[in-house]
Structure 1
Amino acid sequence: TFEFVGATFFTPKELINISGLKDKGIDPFSLEEAKESIIKAYTRKGFFDVDVSYTMEGRKVVFMINEGQRYRVVKGNTIVGFYDEDVLEQELSKTIQKLKAQGYTLADGSIYKDIDRAKKLVKVELNIQKGKKQILKAFIYEGNNKKLRKVFEKHNAGLPKIYNSNLVERLNLDIQAYFKKEGFMEGDYNIDVQLEEKEDAIYYTYIYRITEGPRYRLGGTLYYGYDKTTSRELSYMTRSSEYYSSDLDEETLYNFLSSGIFSGVFIDTFADGDKKEVYRLMQLSEDKRGLFDFTFGYNTEDRLSLEAFLGFKNLFGIGLESSLRYRKTGKYELYNLELQDKFLFSRRYWFKYDMFKEREEHKSFNLDVKGLN
């Protein structure tokens, strides 16, 4: 157990956490560390004359703390309150963050303190080195590719502005995305940075030299993880072209997920540098194929109501969906059969067939309707 004698500023619970003894064994080394931690905590709060000692009485450790007088802070020629290093660090941090928001991204600072032990005062100054404003002036593309020029036009919009490395990273990601979209798997770029220093600012200009390299063709696509679906049906949903493009992957992913057949799809690519081809590996996870739902209810209008639904997906492994619905109430009866294929022999065509029969009973007449769509 631990006891803290003479402590008024910190609670015993706070001092146990400060000492770190809660998670340590009690030994001379740990006790000395605890003593130094307590002294440091008091000093940060302005108790520069604090004195800490300890004794051991069996399994009990007693810390004797003489806090002393808490020092006050002097800024300029004005006493502004008690010394608190946490508050001063927060003030310093806010000042630096404000400068960085104004463009002084290299701003830094420190806390200067002059302790007058006789008067119990601490003269404090924030030493700020704001440096010069860092301004991102422009991105320059040295080339004639119209699509790349549009990429650079988008990123140059709004420049110059305060330098932020994220702006450069976003442009780099868009260039890499362009390479994948157009099939330039060996595409690369070099960057030169020109600095223009003025009285209160440094301007950065990024110059890009881009090499596209050969355009890769689209190789084969390998599927795995499927069981019921036919390979022909998979080919209907797969987007292909002569040359590889990341757009093909996105469209293929959309087709597979919107088909309702699969609960998960992952596409990985492998670039063959010798053949200049990109091969795709598709990991598939087929969804459940059957669904049965039965509902029973009652209301004052229809009295008892009964509804049953039976649905099947990916019939015969060709993506065909079927559903049979039956509903019966005191005044209404419905039969409905629906067949649907979202990819009929290709991704361009789809098929949907709906056949129904319903009967409504009224006081003066009955209504029978049959139809198909």
Structure 2
Amino acid sequence: MLLLLFLPALALAGEVVVKSNYPLKKGNLESFVKTAPPEVVVKLLKAIPEIKSVELKREKGRLVILVERYPLVKKVEVKGNFYFREEEVKSILGLEEGTPLLEENEEVYEELLKAAYREEGFLNADAKVKLVKDDEGFVTVKVKVSEGNLYFLKDARFEGARAFSKEELFRASGLKRGSVYNLYAVEEAEERLEQFYRSRGFFGSFVFLKEVKKEELGRLFWRALYPEGEGFFNSLSEGLKNAFTHPLATLKALVGSGRGAVPVYEVYEGEHYEIRFTGNRFFSSEELLKAVDLNAVSVDYFLLEQARRKLLELYRKKGFLEAEVSYELKKNEVRFFIKEGPRYRARLVVNGNELTLWYDEEKIEGLVNELVERLKREGYLDARAEKKLKVFKERKEVLVEVKLEKGYRYLLAGFEILSEGFEDIEQQVKWKLPTVLDYELIEHALTEVRQRLHEEGYFDGEVSIEVETRRKGNALYFFYFVRVKRGPRYRYGGALVYGLEKTRLKEVSYMLVKEEYFSKEAEELSLWHLVESDVFKSARVENYADRKEKKVYRLVYLEEKKRGLFELALGYSTFEGFKVGGAVVLRNLLGIGLINKNRYLKSDLYELYELALRDNFLFTRWLFGEGKLFKSYEDHAYFDLYSDGWSLMAGNRITRNLSTAFSFSSFTAETTQTEPSTDALKKLSFLFTHRKYFRLSYAAAWGDRAYSYAKLFARAGKEFRHSYGFRVKLWGGALWGNEPIFERFFLGGFKYLKGYDYESIGGPRGGTRAFYLAPEAYYLIKETFELIAGLEAGNAKNDEGKLFDAPYWNLLFSLGVRTPVGLIRADAAYPMRNTALSTGKLRFYLSVELLF
């Protein structure tokens, strides 16, 4: 029964009503149909993924919009999964809470999941999927998984193989012992093996996968940590991947209780043919074998005749015009008899200019084509070549006469856009003039003009061209005049917002850029705001131009993130010891975009309790704010710090990347050891930030102490071909007044200047001036290993004049390993300034960061 959503609208057609088979998601559809034309409503509704169809129908003097909605996934319940996380299971099935259910066949989902597990080596995996749909079109998907054992590739068998050893065939198959069993690689090995056999004269051979045997490994299987492969890093990378993605299965393999798969191939070798060439001198036998390409199931006289013709053509193209080729087939031996004869020379004559060379059809064709292309690059766009050949057998020579016809030279002499607002596009062409007539250059400029018209809301804009030509000698000069008729500029109509669950419509309105006229910049900025809010999992902004009303209507289709999230962080470093952390994140509180994050972090050097409440769009798209309650402990080299308090921050977005913010905090800080004290402080801070490149801060504190400071952090980098590049970090600061020890600067240790003792530079009381510089180059191998080489330099002093005198610096070498759940990094630093702060030896650091 159709659910009636009573959404009246007084339009030209009379009353407008929307009916749907299931309830539609929240938004502003009710108010939107009151102002937008019905055809616009239909157009935008059809663009929503969960809407299956939309129709217009007249019914009793009113206009009815009939909407058929797909069933929506309400919940996905996954049980029995260990290897694939719940989110990964959803991704495999193509299901997510709140998204449309496009396929209602349960068996399709079961096969998808079983295939995904088999691809990862779980050969016995099974899955059951049940879809439970309620009356309102919401579906609960119940998934039950039985993963079974993970199988490594233990070995392979080749039944019926006699001509080659097992290891030769294993290498030819491309399989790797110790890798996780992969069905695709096992099936691909069939073709690899057939190609291997046929390339060695077994033309009638074929190979098929007979079965896959499942066996106990039965002994220490070290290949699980170092599978066979091409090169040390490839094998090590795959071994580490096994250890982190399948830790239990890898451990079982190492102790001999794991499971191994052994594909068994049935090999029919057939008869072996020996291919021999006699009389060849110019070409090697390997080159001739490749040219004849006898990769066929069987050898017969028809195939051999084809091979003979290929050989003749090969020789004649290289100038052996008198070459002869014959063959004979005796049992399993094919012999080609070749009489090469003399090689002819070529006398190439181009418009009277002569060149003598050995006759080589491909080379001569290339020379002629190069001459024609050179003429075209010079503007002779109609240039062509006529070639005539004459053979002189007595002189063993081929006369190649080439006549080049240039035609007119086409030159672009003028380009002008006879409308304002396109001067930059016009200049891009003009600075190249005069030049060869380049249609791509002109078309690119015209495309930019049309694109700009569209981006500024001139959807009916017209671009016309007038071309004037002048002839001088054999040159034609072209003058292009571009006329732009903008037409009316389209205004913004309404925006259909759809997909809300908890978010209030007013909150979305803060994020949408509102202007009188349509612009691409407003669309892109609106989309960026929606993503930046951290409320929506996905956001899409589409527009529809109403040619009658000269308005642009927007569809804002949204999918909200889960409101609750639990984070778990684990790690270890030689600097901080074991680390553990957890966070509970509550998003979109009260439906107004508030995000609450409650964190706890603990290591050997610090402990933190933090409760934060953040709003990324505070009553407008320009403002954001955050409040925090915190309590922390920090273990430093010369003092311990205990602090607790609260802070409020309000910021302003200047551009997408630039922002300013003011922060006020009130806290109590207690320090022990070097300078024991307990201070109640208030601090006002100003921050100027570019999210990619720098952060500048200035703060003034008062209370039991009065002091101020300024700090700058900057970074830059360049990547080349996604595999190597360089990065540089710069940090500096200065303090003034009666500052406490915990605000002073200390360098040395894991974070800054790894070649020196922890916080030794500036100790024991700390510096009031400091700087740190760290350039480094990196190289990424197989998207897993990152090799880093660089240096660190810095200093911390109380005397500004001596800050840059004899700074501390060290060389740095690092290896990072990217895993599916985090990063492992090993660092080695060598100090280049021997002092009491360094032993003068290499220092090693290891850090592991895992996030779940």
Aligned: 1:173 with 2:447 = yes
Q: Compared with structure 1, are the counterparts of its residues 34 and 325 closer, same or farther at alpha carbon in structure 2 (3 Å cutoff)?
A: same
- Which residue of structure 2 aligns with residue 146 of structure 1? 420
TM superposition score normalised by structure 1: 0.81
- Which residue of structure 2 aligns with residue 277 of structure 1? 551
Q: Compared with structure 1, are the counterparts of its residues 63 and 317 closer, same or farther at alpha carbon in structure 2 (3 Å cutoff)?
A: farther
Report the 3-state secondary structure (helix = DSSP H, G, I; strand = E; otherwise coil) of the residue aligned with 1:97.
Answer: helix
Aligned: 1:372 with 2:372 = no
Aligned: 1:214 with 2:523 = no
Moved more, 104-113 or 133-142: 104-113
Q: Compared with structure 1, are the counterparts of its residues 332 and 254 closer, same or farther at alpha carbon in structure 2 (3 Å cutoff)?
A: closer
- Which residue of structure 1 aligns with residue 295 of structure 2? 22
- Which residue of structure 2 aligns with residue 131 of structure 1? 407
Q: Compared with structure 1, are the counterparts of its residues 207 and 330 closer, same or farther at alpha carbon in structure 2 (3 Å cutoff)?
A: closer
Q: Compared with structure 1, are the counterparts of its residues 124 and 206 closer, same or farther at alpha carbon in structure 2 (3 Å cutoff)?
A: same
Q: CA–CA distance in 1 between the matches of 2:381 and 2:537?
A: 47
Aligned: 1:96 with 2:388 = no
Report the 3-state secondary structure (helix = DSSP H, G, I; strand = E; otherwise coil) of the residue aligned with 1:247.
Answer: helix
Aligned: 1:74 with 2:347 = yes
Q: Compared with structure 1, are the counterparts of its residues 284 and 345 closer, same or farther at alpha carbon in structure 2 (3 Å cutoff)?
A: same
For residues 168-226 of structure 1, give each alpha carbon's deviation from its aligned partner in whole angstroms, at most 9, with x where no partner exists: 12211122122212322111122222222222422221222332223222223334566
Equivalent pair of 2:322/2:342 in contact (CA under 8 Å):
yes
Deviation at 1:45, TM superposition (A): 0.7
- Which residue of structure 2 aligns with residue 47 of structure 1? 320
Equivalent pair of 1:72/1:79 in contact (CA under 8 Å):
no
The one-letter amino acid of 1:211's match is K
Q: Which has the higher helix share?
A: 1
The one-letter amino acid of 2:366's match is Q
Equivalent pair of 1:239/1:252 in contact (CA under 8 Å):
yes
Aligned: 1:292 with 2:567 = yes
- Which residue of structure 1 aligns with residue 517 of structure 2? 243
Aligned: 1:119 with 2:392 = no
For residues 23-54 of structure 1, give each alpha carbon's deviation from its aligned partner in whole angstroms, at most 9, with x where no partner exists: 69878776665544433222211111123345
Q: Compared with structure 1, are the counterparts of its residues 162 and 56 closer, same or farther at alpha carbon in structure 2 (3 Å cutoff)?
A: same
Deviation at 1:249, TM superposition (A): 1.5
1:317-356 matches, cutoff 5 A? 317-330=591-604, 332-356=606-630
Equivalent pair of 1:16/1:22 in contact (CA under 8 Å):
no
Report the 3-state secondary structure (helix = DSSP H, G, I; strand = E; otherwise coil) of the residue aligned with 1:358.
Answer: strand
Percent identity (aligned) = 32
- Which residue of structure 1 aligns with residue 533 of structure 2? 259
Deviation at 1:342, TM superposition (A): 1.6
The one-letter amino acid of 2:606's match is Y
Equivalent pair of 1:293/1:310 in contact (CA under 8 Å):
no
Q: Compared with structure 1, are the counterparts of its residues 51 and 220 closer, same or farther at alpha carbon in structure 2 (3 Å cutoff)?
A: farther
For residues 288-328 of structure 1, give each alpha carbon's deviation from its aligned partner in whole angstroms, at most 9, with x where no partner exists: 6635032243546x555443344344445433223223233
Report the 3-state secondary structure (helix = DSSP H, G, I; strand = E; otherwise coil) of the residue aligned with 1:336.
Answer: strand
Equivalent pair of 2:450/2:463 in contact (CA under 8 Å):
no
Note the residue ranges of structure 2 that are not aligned, 5 or more in a row.
Answer: 1-272, 649-852
Equivalent pair of 2:348/2:402 in contact (CA under 8 Å):
no
Report the 3-state secondary structure (helix = DSSP H, G, I; strand = E; otherwise coil) of the residue aligned with 1:146.
Answer: coil
Deviation at 1:87, TM superposition (A): 1.7
Equivalent pair of 1:7/1:65 in contact (CA under 8 Å):
yes
Q: CA–CA distance in 2 between the matches of 1:126 and 1:312?
A: 79
Q: Choose the corresponding residue for 2:360, options 67, 84, 96.
A: 84
For residues 116-161 of structure 1, give each alpha carbon's deviation from its aligned partner in whole angstroms, at most 9, with x where no partner exists: 111112234543333343222222334xx42145543444333222
Q: CA–CA distance in 1 between the matches of 2:595 and 2:331?
A: 79
The one-letter amino acid of 1:159's match is L
For residues 233-279 of structure 1, give each alpha carbon's deviation from its aligned partner in whole angstroms, at most 9, with x where no partner exists: 33322223233222222222222233334454443332222222222
Moved more, 251-260 or 106-115: 106-115
For residues 83-120 of structure 1, give each alpha carbon's deviation from its aligned partner in whole angstroms, at most 9, with x where no partner exists: 11222222233333333333334433355443211111
Note the residue ranges of structure 1 that are not aligned, 5 or more in a row.
Answer: none
Equivalent pair of 1:191/1:207 in contact (CA under 8 Å):
yes
For residues 54-102 of structure 1, give each alpha carbon's deviation from its aligned partner in whole angstroms, at most 9, with x where no partner exists: 5666787655443222112335798844211222222233333333333
The one-letter amino acid of 1:141's match is I
The one-letter amino acid of 1:196's match is R
Equivalent pair of 2:607/2:634 in contact (CA under 8 Å):
yes
- Which residue of structure 2 aligns with residue 198 of structure 1? 472
Report the 3-state secondary structure (helix = DSSP H, G, I; strand = E; otherwise coil) of the residue aligned with 2:621.
Answer: coil
Equivalent pair of 1:3/1:63 in contact (CA under 8 Å):
yes
- When the two structures are aligned, how many residues end up with a matched partner? 370
Moved more, 9-18 or 238-247: 9-18
Q: CA–CA distance in 1 between the matches of 2:486 and 2:402?
A: 51
- Which residue of structure 1 aligns with residue 282 of structure 2? 9
The one-letter amino acid of 1:188's match is E
